[in-house]
């Protein structure tokens, strides 16, 4: 175990009841989702269950989406929610373990590599959670320059888009301009090439020699994530070239919409010109596309684009049949908490009550999915390879569930969700 926590869940709840859940006035721009007192109390209890479960995490995986960095973010935000020192102390222990094991991480990407760890440490430092030392010496931007310069893989989770995004969230405008320049050079080189593979990388689904290749309109791997990173780069640097590159990405995404009155506006992929089934989960499908479109419209001051995104969110706000839409998991990537968090964000962006109600519905669903006796705080994640299994991670596990629950019941803005391209 991570530590010897000599306290039972019941004793911890009694201890915390002595302290108050913070509703911090220092975050006035975030409005809580949950208004039902009983539901709020149930979520508070689940937050403690999740904390105790994260304390059983073992191993040297210190990655953001699957390992200890995501767990550390959860404990950091929990320590800000509840005035109880043991949460911060547990987070500091995780921070020390990350430093001890950082040499074991060889990859550079956001999901499992050094870019994700950089995001975590810089986020903690910038938001004054813990004292973080020597971040630039260990994980300075020069570490990632060679990767940005030599790789043309724009994948967000595993490629250069995620690496650049980590730098955009972590460093100064000057540093971001240099790193962004390397990334944009890769995009320009892809645009100048006519090979089918390069067109697939640049515009997934683009036409080459009359053949329609397989695109991906998922936020995790596909074009919406590239558009989000371009938008963030423009927001940081104000470089007009970025806008000129982002515009055709936006046009291509809009042209990828299903025609007619179909249930889903975007398919998560096309195969030989045929639309695959749509989804409403965060990694794939309409909601990820809608968030990317919304951000583009807001940053580039295009209200007609923003309105289109809002209508897309409204289109799916009443899709609440868990079985019909295949919402088997409770997690962010393909589960209920991802849907809840999208609508929590959009409620705070727009003030539309239907978005708050939709978010509350999916938070309830997520709470009710904690029914496994041998799960982590009752939760398990399902995939075809492993079946139902325990998962501690931010993307597919309990750390991400806990982080979203915190913002559901408090005024603590979920700034961490930028790593999932939700803000």
Q: Give the pLDDT band of residue 263 (cuts 50, 70, 90).
A: confident
Whether the Cβ atoms of residue 218 and residue 283 lie closer than 8 Å to each other: yes
Tell me how far the alpha carbon of residue 146 is from its chain's centroid. Answer: 25
* CA dihedral (108, 383, 287, 375) positive or negative: negative
Other C-beta atoms within 10 Å of 227: how many? 25
More confident residue, 114 or 220: 114
Question: How does the average pLDDT of the chain come out, rounded?
Answer: 85
Whether the Cβ atoms of residue 266 and residue 289 lie closer than 8 Å to each other: yes
Q: What is the pLDDT of residue 317?
A: 94
- What whole-number distance in Å separates Cα of residue 64 and Cα of residue 53? 17
Phi, psi at 55, each rounded to 5°: -70, -10
pTM: 0.89
Mean pLDDT of the 244-272 span: 78
Q: Which two tokens stand for residue 55?
A: 């304390």
Whether the Cβ atoms of residue 69 and residue 417 lie closer than 8 Å to each other: no
Other C-beta atoms within 10 Å of 55: how many? 18
Q: Which two tokens stand for residue 399?
A: 């750390």
Q: Give the pLDDT band of residue 399 (cuts 50, 70, 90).
A: very high
Whether 314 shows a pLDDT value over 80: the answer reads yes
- What whole-number distance in Å separates Cα of residue 218 and Cα of residue 12? 40
Whether 374 shows a pLDDT value over 60: the answer reads yes
- What whole-number distance in Å separates Cα of residue 182 and Cα of residue 176? 10
- What whole-number distance in Å separates Cα of residue 306 and Cα of residue 296? 8
Percent of the chain whose pLDDT exceeds 90: 60
């Amino acid at each position: 175990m991570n530590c010897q926590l000599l306290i039972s869940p019941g004793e911890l709840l009694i201890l915390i009841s002595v302290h108050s859940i913070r509703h911090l006035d220092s975050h006035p721009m975030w409005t809580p989702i949950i208004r039902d007192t009983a539901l709020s109390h149930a979520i508070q209890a689940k937050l403690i269950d999740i904390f105790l479960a994260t304390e059983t995490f073992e191993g040297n995986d210190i990655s953001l989406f699957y390992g200890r960095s995501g767990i550390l973010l959860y404990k950091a935000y929990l320590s800000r929610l509840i005035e109880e020192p043991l949460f911060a102390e547990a987070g500091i222990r995780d921070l020390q373990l990350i430093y001890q094991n950082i040499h074991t991480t060889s990859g550079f990407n956001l999901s499992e590599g050094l870019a994700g760890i950089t995001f975590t440490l810089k986020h903690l430092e910038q938001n004054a959670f813990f004292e973080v030392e020597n971040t630039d010496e260990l994980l300075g931007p020069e570490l990632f320059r060679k990767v940005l310069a030599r790789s043309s893989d724009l994948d967000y989770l595993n490629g250069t888009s995620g690496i650049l995004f980590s730098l955009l969230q972590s460093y100064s405008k000057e540093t971001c301009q240099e790193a962004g320049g390397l990334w944009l050079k890769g995009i320009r080189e892809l645009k100048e090439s006519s090979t089918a593979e390069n067109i697939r990388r640049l515009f997934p689904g683009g036409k080459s020699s009359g053949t329609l290749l397989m695109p991906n309109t998922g936020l995790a791997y596909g074009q919406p994530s590239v558009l989000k990173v371009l938008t963030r780069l423009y927001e940081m640097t104000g470089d007009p070239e970025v806008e000129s590159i982002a515009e055709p990405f936006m046009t291509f995404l809009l042209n990828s919409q299903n025609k007619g009155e179909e249930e889903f506006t975007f398919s998560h992929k096309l195969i030989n010109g045929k639309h695959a089934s749509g989804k409403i989960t965060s990694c794939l499908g309409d909601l990820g596309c809608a968030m990317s479109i919304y951000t583009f419209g807001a940053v580039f001051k295009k209200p007609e684009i923003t309105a289109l995104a809002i209508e897309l969110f409204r289109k799916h706000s009443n899709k609440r049949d868990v079985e019909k839409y295949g919402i088997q998991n409770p997690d962010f990537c393909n589960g209920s908490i991802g849907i809840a968090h999208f609508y929590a964000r959009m409620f705070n962006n727009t003030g539309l009550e239907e978005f708050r109600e939709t978010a509350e519905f999916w938070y309830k669903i997520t709470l009710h999915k904690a029914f496994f006796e041998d799960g982590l705080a009752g939760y398990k994640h399902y995939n075809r390879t492993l079946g139902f299994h325990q998962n501690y991670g931010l993307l597919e596990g309990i750390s991400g569930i806990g982080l979203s629950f915190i913002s559901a019941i408090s005024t603590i803005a979920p700034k961490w969700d930028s790593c999932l391209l939700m803000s």
